[in-house]
Amino acid sequence: MEKLLEEFSLGLFFWQTLLFVGLLFLLAKYAWKPILSAVEERENTIKDSLEAAEKAKADMEAVQADNKRILKEARAERDALLAEAKKTSTQIVNDAKEAAQTEADKIAAAAQAAIQQEKNAAINDLKAQVAGLSVDIAQKVLQGELADQKKQEQLVEKLVKDIEIK
C-alpha cells in the first residue's frame, strides 16, 4: 500500500483525467453519437424491410388464397350453369315435343273432321246426283215404256217393287 501511494503521481493523474474526459466528450460528440444513431437507423431499416417483406409475403399468400377461392367458385358456378343449361335444354326439347305432339294431334283431328265433312258432302252430293240420274232415267224409261197404258202400269208396279230404299 505504501509502495502504491509512493507510485501515485498527481501529474499523471491530472493528465490522464484531462485527456480521458476530453476524449470522452470529443468522441461522444463526433463519434459515438453519429455511429450509434447510424447503426440504429440501419437496424430500423432492416427491421422495417423485414417486416415489409413479411407483410408482402402474407399479402401474396392472401391474394393466392383469394385466387384459388375465386377459381373454385367460378368452377362451381360454371358447373351449376352447365347443369342448369342442360336442364333447361331438356325442358325446352320436352316442351317442344309436347307442343308438337299437341299440334299434330290437333291438325290430325281437324283433318279427320274435314275429311268426314267432305265425305258427308260427297255422299250427299252423290245421293242428289243419283236421285237426279234416277229421275232422268226413270223419266226416259217411262217416256219409252209409257207409250201405252198397260205397260205403264206394269212398269210402275215393277219399279215400285224394285225400289228399295237404302
Partner 1 sequence: MKRKSTILINAKKSVALLAILFVGFAFANNKEDAKEGDLKTEIKEYIAHHLLDSYDFSLFSYTNAQGEHVYIGAPLPIILWDNGLKLFSSSKFHHGETVAAVDGNHYALYHNKIYKTDAAGTINYDESHHPTNVKPLDFSITKSVVSMMLVFAIMFFLFKSLAASYAKNGGIAAGAGRFFEPIVLYIRDDIALPNIGEKKHKKYMSFLLTIFFFIWFLNILGLTPLGVNVTGNIAVTFGLALLTFLITNLTGTKDYWLHIFDPLGSTMAWYAKVPLYIILIPIEVLGIFIKPFSLLIRLYANMQAGHIVLMSLIGLMFIFKSWLGSPLSFGLAFAISLIEVLVALLQAYIFTMLSALYFGFAAVEHEHH
Stretch that binds partner 1, among 10-18, 70-78, 97-105, 154-162 (CB under 8 A): 10-18
* Cα 117 off chain centre by: 50
Supply the minimum distance, in Å, between the C-beta of residue 56 and partner 1.
22
Q: Is 96 exposed, middle or buried (0-12, 13-18, 19+ CB in 10 A)?
A: exposed
Q: Please report whether residue 1 would count as binding partner 1 according to CB under 8 A.
A: no
Number of residues interacting with partner 1: please give it, by CB under 8 A.
33
Q: Tell me which DSSP letter residue 32 carries.
A: I
Tell me how far apart the alpha carbons of residues 138 and 132 are, in angstroms, rounded to a whole number. 9
Q: Please report whether residue 49 would count as binding partner 1 according to CB under 8 A.
A: no
Note whether 155 and 141 are within 8 A (CB). Answer: yes
Supply the minimum distance, in Å, between the C-beta of residue 44 and partner 1.
10
Binding site for partner 1 (CB under 8 A): 4, 7-17, 19-24, 26-28, 30-36, 38-39, 41-42, 45
